[in-house]
């Protein structure tokens, strides 16, 4: 692992993957909390608010090395530019396993306060359909297809990323078979939902997914945009 520093911009060069690229800009809304230690490097987690053009807020989980940020300092309320990857892991939840998603920060720039320009939220994924697409239409006739994308890492690991396609992109995605190779451009979004626990109890949870702006079927080189 190498650390590069340019003014207040820090970059961690570790397992850079062209097939999984994320760039977000927003404000930190929680303290950095220790998550784990791997090969002598400590990683911390925090939440970042990223504003959409509509004004809505996506609350996105971030995991970052203490080599990039001094986690003993208070950063809540500061704006950051984060570059990295979108990763997943399975967490045991009772007798079930839940897919957990997070942004793995590899580059960070502390901006300090909200800039005049709009916050960035961009993701590029190159992977394979690993679950049969689910197509549906809303009562107003909006076409939607949910897909699960497997994006390979080095050394045989993969990240599993839920994606939601719209309009013509939904039509293309609905016809894809498991194993199809696609490239996706979009943004990461969060949404709240109520998880039913018992007949009388429910719990508020947050789901994360990629809202797909464009999808390219690599084998056929067909590109459909939202």
Dig out the tokens for 192 from the structure: 């709240």
Encode 18-81 in three state secondary structure: CCEEEEEEEEECCCCEEEEEECCEEEEEEEEEEECCCCCEEEEEEEEECCCCCCCCCCCCCEEE
In the chain, what is the straight-line distance between the N-terminal and C-terminal CA atoms, in Å? 38
Tokens 């203490």 belong to residue: 66
pLDDT at 193 over 70: yes
Percent of the chain, pLDDT > 90? 56
| Residue 15 or residue 114, greater confidence | 114
- Could you report the per-residue pLDDT of 158-190, keeping only the tens digit for each? 999 999 999 999 999 999 999 999 999 999 999
Q: How many CA atoms lie within 13 Å of 197's alpha carbon, on the beta-carbon side? A: 8
- Could you report the per-residue pLDDT of 9-63, keeping only the tens digit for each? 454 545 557 899 999 999 999 999 999 998 889 999 999 999 988 889 999 999 9
Stated pTM of the model = 0.85
| Residue 106 or residue 12, greater confidence | 106
Tokens 């994308």 belong to residue: 149
| Longest CA–CA separation in the chain, Å | 55
How far, CA to CA in Å, does 119 sit from each of 57, 137, 189, 194, 204?
Answer: 11, 30, 13, 28, 27
pLDDT at 206 over 90: no
Give the separation between CA 213 and CA 53, rounded to whole angstroms. Answer: 14
Q: What is the pLDDT of residue 6?
A: 38
Percent of the chain, pLDDT > 70? 84
What is the pLDDT averaged over residues 191-210? 80
pLDDT at 4 over 50: no
**Average pLDDT of every residue of the chain:** 85
How far, CA to CA in Å, does 13 sit from each of 10, 50, 129, 215?
Answer: 10, 24, 28, 28
pLDDT at 91 over 60: yes
User: pLDDT band for position 96 (50/70/90)?
Assistant: confident
Is the distance from CB of 48 to CB of 110 less than 8 angstroms? no
């Amino acid at each position: 692992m190498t650390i590069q520093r340019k003014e207040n911009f820090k970059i961690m060069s570790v397992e850079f993957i062209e097939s999984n690229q994320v760039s977000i800009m927003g404000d930190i809304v929680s303290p950095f909390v220790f998550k784990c230690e791997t090969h002598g490097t400590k990683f911390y987690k925090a939440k970042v608010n990223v504003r959409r053009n509509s004004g809505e807020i996506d609350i996105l989980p971030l995991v970052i090395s203490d080599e990039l940020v001094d986690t003993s300092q208070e950063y809540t309320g500061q704006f950051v530019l984060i570059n990295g990857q979108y990763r997943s892991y399975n967490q045991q939840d009772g007798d079930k396993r839940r897919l957990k998603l997070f942004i793995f920060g590899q580059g960070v720039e502390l901006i300090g306060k909200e800039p005049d320009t709009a916050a960035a939220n961009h993701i590029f994924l190159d992977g394979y359909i690993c679950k049969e697409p689910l197509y549906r239409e809303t009562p107003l006739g909006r076409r939607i297809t949910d897909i699960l994308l497997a994006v390979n890492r080095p050394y045989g690991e993969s990240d599993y990323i839920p994606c939601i396609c719209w309009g013509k992109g939904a039509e293309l995605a609905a016809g894809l078979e498991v194993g199809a190779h696609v490239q996706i451009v979009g943004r990461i979004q969060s949404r709240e939902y109520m998880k039913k626990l018992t007949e009388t109890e429910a719990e508020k949870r947050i789901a994360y997914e990629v809202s797909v702006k464009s999808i390219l079927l690599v084998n056929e080189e067909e590109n459909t945009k939202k």
